[in-house]
Amino acid sequence: MATTENPATADTVGGVLDNVQAPALNNRDNSPLPDNWQRLGDASAAVVAQLRVELHADGSFDYAEDGVLASILPVRGLGGRMEDIVAWVAADPARWWLRRRMAVILGMEAVETADYMREPLLLFDTPLDWLKAGKRGAVVLDWKAHLPFWLPCNAPIKCQNERLARKVTAALTPPRPNVSVEASHA
C-alpha cells in the first residue's frame, strides 16, 4: 500500500491514486472524481482507495481531512460513463454512501451485458462483496430507485443469498392497484 502526503487521501490500493487531491472535490457541482482519475481511463473502475470522508444522513458524503476513513470506488452508469463514487466504512460494509447520490447500480456493464446476451446477472449484497467476487455482476446501490428500469428484463437474476433474492423480488414486483366495481346509478 502506498501512502500519500495528503492526509485526505491516506492509503491507496497499489499506489494508483497517489497524489489525488481529494479536498478539491467538495463542490457538488463538479465531477465526483478528481482529474487524475479521468486520465486513468477504464482502469479506474477497479480502483479502491481509502480516503477520509464526512458521512451525511441523506446517504451522501464529502471529503474531509478530519473525517472517518472509508473505502471509495468509482461507479459507472449506463454506457460506461463515470457518474458517482460509493464509499463504505470497513466496520460496516453493508452500509454505503454516494458522493452525488446519482448512482443506482454498481456494475452497470454487467447488467447491460446480461440483458443483451440473456445471460444470468449475478447480484451481490455490498460493494465489498462485488469486489471480492472479482467485480463480476452488480450491486443495487439505491433501493428507492425504480429497479424494473435498471435491472435486466430479458435475463435471470442470481442473487448472492436468499435474503437478497427476496429483496430483489419485492423490488421488481409491481404494486397491485385497488380495483373495484362501481355500482351503476340508474
**What percentage of residues in the chain have a pLDDT greater than 70?**
74
Is there a single domain that holds both residue 86 and residue 22? yes
Closest by alpha carbon to 32, among 93, 97, 112?
97
List, for residues 69-97, the tens digit of each pLDDT value: 999 999 988 777 888 999 999 999 999 99
Is there a single domain that holds both residue 52 and residue 64? yes
Is there a single domain that holds both residue 5 and residue 41? yes
Q: Is residue 155 part of a domain?
A: yes
Is there a single domain that holds both residue 22 and residue 108? no
As a whole number of angstroms, the distance between CA 182 and CA 154 comes to 38
pLDDT of residue 154: 85
Is there a single domain that holds both residue 97 and residue 125? no
Q: Are the C-beta atoms of 86 and 106 separated by less than 8 Å?
A: yes
As a whole number of angstroms, the distance between CA 147 and CA 143 comes to 7
Is there a single domain that holds both residue 61 and residue 142? no
Q: Is residue 162 part of a domain?
A: yes
Is there a single domain that holds both residue 7 and residue 96? yes
113 vs 186: which has the higher pLDDT: 113
Q: What is the mean pLDDT of residues 44-63?
A: 84
3 vs 158: which has the higher pLDDT: 158
On whether the pTM is more than 0.85, the answer is no
Q: What is the mean pLDDT of residues 8-21?
A: 34
C-alpha torsion sign, points 40, 111, 160, 162: positive
Residue range of the domain that includes 11: 1-103
Domain count for the chain, please give it: 2
* Interacting residues of 126 by C-beta distance below 8 A, sequence separation 6+: 88, 93, 94, 96, 139
CA distances 8 to 19, 22, 25, 65, 84, Å, are: 10, 6, 11, 5, 18
Q: Is residue 184 part of a domain?
A: no
Mean pLDDT is lowest, of 21-25, 68-72, 99-103, 142-146, for 21-25
Q: Are the C-beta atoms of 135 and 129 separated by less than 8 Å?
A: no
